[in-house]
Amino acid sequence: MQTKAVFLAIAMLSVPAMAQSAAPVAAVPASIAPESAPVPLRAYIPGSISPEAAAIYTKYKAILLAPRQKPMTTPAEYAELYATNEKNMLPRAEAAIKQYGSIVTERVLGGVPTLEVRPRNYKDDGTVLIYAHGGGWVTGSARSSLPDAAVTADATGKRVISVDYTVAPKGNWRIVTDQVVAVYKAVLAQGVKAKHIGMFGGSAGANIVAAAALKIRDQGLRMPAALFLNCPMVDLTNSGDTSVTLAEADPVLNPASVMPAIKLYVDDADVKNPYASPIYGDFSKGYPPTLIQGGTKEWLLSDFVRIYQAIKTAGGNAELDLYEGMPHGFTGIFASAPEGKAAQAEQLKFWAKYLPGRKK
């Protein structure tokens, strides 16, 4: 991962938020042509993106383009990072709950701690969204990622169950996917039908959701109605084409900063297990309808394309929704730009189609 300051920016960016407020920025920069100056590729602002998005790039340039430091490697360093991230993100979480008027309830489901988030004026339509937060497998919690759950609950009108899974190094791919499956089983036990359950996550959370869906299927359970994967890393071997070609293009994340954390989540011997790297799963056995979103600046772009092709080739239902010039997790910080609004609209359309619920 990055230094603490930069990682906090990543935490803001790598979320599946449907809507977030962002202060307008007046200045709109000129596009930086790659050959015009000796600047890093991640500093290149495409002329093809909206003026609003270009202005947001400029506003956060000092954070997004801060010098990349040596990645952390030890469990103690990641423990310190986790604590720092929680301390800095919790005020933002509290502010979001107040802003959206969400009702948050702590629940233990299947032996796993969760937070249930209901929007203001909630009316039960029989549906549930299960959420796995991002954070590179080593940071984040249900509490600190409450803004993501709150904005999704507010936008969809549905209750969201955020899984407080055990991050690495205490947690690993076996533990975490088991926890998500346990929560899913507990929701089924409450009387909610599988066809009324959706699952979603961003970044590492999208990986976890995609893998947990395979485990749900392989355990003989009825699969959820649909999955939304925002900026998913589905191959933890990092062997996709864009892991090289776009490694320095994404201002938010890069392979060198992420791979050390992945080593704490999965051993080399297990890295191709489908419950760790879902791209290696057998999708011909069935898989839920899946929406995959991301941007063309992301070094994970190949992962988006590959999971889309894997599902489609196996006869499944998948949608690949890409946005020009957008970095990792753009739907958070770029929510007020046309690109962010378009992505939010596609998310809502997707849930309305596959998780309509009963009439209120």
What's the 3-state SS for 122-172?
CCCCCCEEEEECCCCCCCCCCCCCHHHHHHHHHHHCCEEEEECCCCCCCCC
Phi and psi, residue 317, nearest 5°: -115, 115
Record the pTM.
0.90
Tokens found for residue 103:
């009702």
Greatest pairwise CA separation for the chain in angstroms? 61
- State the residue for tokens 């959701």: 209
Domain contains 118: yes
- The DSSP line for 186-218 is HHHHTT--GGGEEEEEETHHHHHHHHHHHHHHH
CA 305 to CA 229: how far, in whole Å?
A: 12
What does the pLDDT read at residue 215? Answer: 98
Domain contains 164: yes
Q: How many domains does the chain have?
A: 1
Domain range for residue 171? 4-354
What does the pLDDT read at residue 359? Answer: 66
Tokens found for residue 72:
């952390």
What does the pLDDT read at residue 61? Answer: 79
Residues in the chain, total: 360
CATH number, domain with residue 234? 3.40.50.1820
Domain contains 34: yes
Tokens found for residue 260:
């050390």
Domain contains 231: yes
Task: Write the Ramachandran bin of 315: left for phi over 0, alpha for psi from -120 to 50, otherwise beta.
Answer: left
Domain contains 359: no
What does the pLDDT read at residue 210? Answer: 98
Q: Which residues of the chain have pLDDT under 50?
A: 1-37
